[in-house]
Amino acid sequence: MRTVGIVGVGNMGGGMAAHLLEQGWTVRVHDIDRAKVDALESLGATACDSTSEAALGVPLLIVCVVDAQQVREVLFAEGGALESLDARATVMLCPTIAPGDTEQIAAELAEQGIATIDAPMSGGPARARDGSMSLMVACAEDVFEAHRDAIEALSRKVFRIGERVGDGARTKLVNNLLAGINLVGAAEAMALAQRVGLDLETTLDVIEQSSGQSWIGSDRMRRAIEGDYEPRAHMTLLAKDTRLAIEAAREAGFDGPLGEKARDVFAQALRAGLADRDDAALFKLLAS
């Protein structure tokens, strides 16, 4: 069936839902913010009042919330997905969470006969909306094949990480640690450019065509130059992800020179009251 449920239809989940609807999928949606559900209902989604209702009768439930605690609430709390998921259903985990949490959640689902697709996403809301975001997929081969249509409908950039659930989460943390390091570096460089009296637009033009270029640096610093800190990617997200990446590194016995510094800059931004701002506000923090 070309039917999925999506719980958590904020920036990323909402984009994913709209993209599937455009392709003719039946999409059942639930979110604690009813306005987000109503917006998708106007596009043809089935609005659900609870997680359990969103999971009713779907072969694939996509969980697109923020952290492991929210994942657990979606799946296991009263009114959660387990109350209505079919024993042959599959849960697709898209948040960036610790690999250990992914493995434990998958084990608890397996006890009920429910398979797990470990599939963190990357690319931002616009790419979720147009299907060009990345999905890092780890799951058993038969589970992947059973849901290949949905996975490939969601993303034109599907990376088959392997069969070990948890490796998708590991890959995402490695990626996001580098994203965090790159963003801190870009914000520092642009703050320096401002301090020494350079034109910021011209400086970023040069960087984008030279060895200092990074996608996240260009994307966020363009907004920062305009003073646009309306949240597309909340500061809290990379603060969380860099922290999780460093925790995973420590568990693996790895100690790198830059990750902890990037994590600490994001933590500093939260203490400075920038939690509800776009992470482009690192420039504001470092230029002050």
Tell me phi and psi for residue 53, to 5 degrees.
-70, -40
- Residue 22 CA to residue 245 CA, distance in Å, equals 35
- Residue 49 CA to residue 55 CA, distance in Å, equals 11
In sequence order, what are the residues at sequence separation of 6 or more whose Cβ sits closer than 8 angstroms to the Cβ of residue 248? 98, 99, 170, 173
Task: Exactly one of 36, 157, 172, 284 is catalytic; name it.
Answer: 172
| Residue 240 annotated in active site | no
Token match 């999409």: residue? 27
CA atoms within 13 A on the CB side of 21: 21
Picking from 35, 54, 43, the residue whose alpha carbon sits closest to that of residue 17 is: 43
In sequence order, what are the residues at sequence separation of 6 or more whose Cβ sits closer than 8 angstroms to the Cβ of residue 191? 283, 286, 287
Catalytically annotated residues: 172
